[in-house]
Structure 1
Amino acid sequence: MTNQGFIDYAKFKVQQWLWHNAENADGISTDDIFVVWYSKTLQNHKALLGTRFANYYFECTYNGDKEEMYVDVYDKVQNVCVKVPDRL
């Protein structure tokens, strides 16, 4: 699987998950899904994906040995602002 092929497939699977599980996500396209981080090691791929239309975070992992992709879905529970002191 190529790098772009993995990213395209991961976006497609995230899109499908959103269509079936998220409220008001029927019209979301793969163009609305962005890659936050991507890595490839040997035959394996991993990407972290998100969208501004839902409070979910997605981790897609491709196992090249088994030719399987795993999709983990996380829900944003809380957003906390922490003041960083001048001296650490």
Structure 2
Amino acid sequence: MGNDKFLKIAVEEVRRYTEEHLENPQDFDIYVVWVCKTLQNNKALLSTTLSDGMYFEATYNGDKKELYLDAYKKEKNVCVKVED
């Protein structure tokens, strides 16, 4: 599957999932953070403009013609100083 078709389906699934889990309906946009295609498989990381800390991983298995959607909630952001 090409990236354009894959991303269209992934964005639709993120929208469906998010709308099903919103307590208060509101407008939001979905954006793609990263996308990759390897052989017959696609993967993308997506998020929304909502401030709920959610992000999504969409994976298309080209062998099985299946899309998997994982939903994650950001728990913490830690800064780690690294010396050269």
TM-score, length-scaled by structure 2? 0.86
Post-superposition offset of 1:21: 1.1
CA distance in 2, matches of 1:25, 1:6: 26
Higher relative contact order (CA 8 A, sep 6+): 2
Post-superposition offset of 1:26: 4.3
Q: Percent identity?
A: 46
Post-superposition offset of 1:77: 1.1
Partner of 2:70: 72
Post-superposition offset of 1:7: 0.4
Partner of 1:55: 53
Deviations 1:24-50 (A, max 9, x none): 35433xxx1111110001110000001
Uncovered stretches (5+) of structure 1, i.e. residues with no partner: none
Q: Alignment RMSD, CA only?
A: 1.6
Deviations 1:57-81 (A, max 9, x none): 100000011100000010111223x
Post-superposition offset of 1:84: 2.4
How many corresponding residue pairs? 83
TM-score, length-scaled by structure 1? 0.83
Uncovered stretches (5+) of structure 2, i.e. residues with no partner: none
> Is the aligned partner of 1:18 residue 2:18?
yes
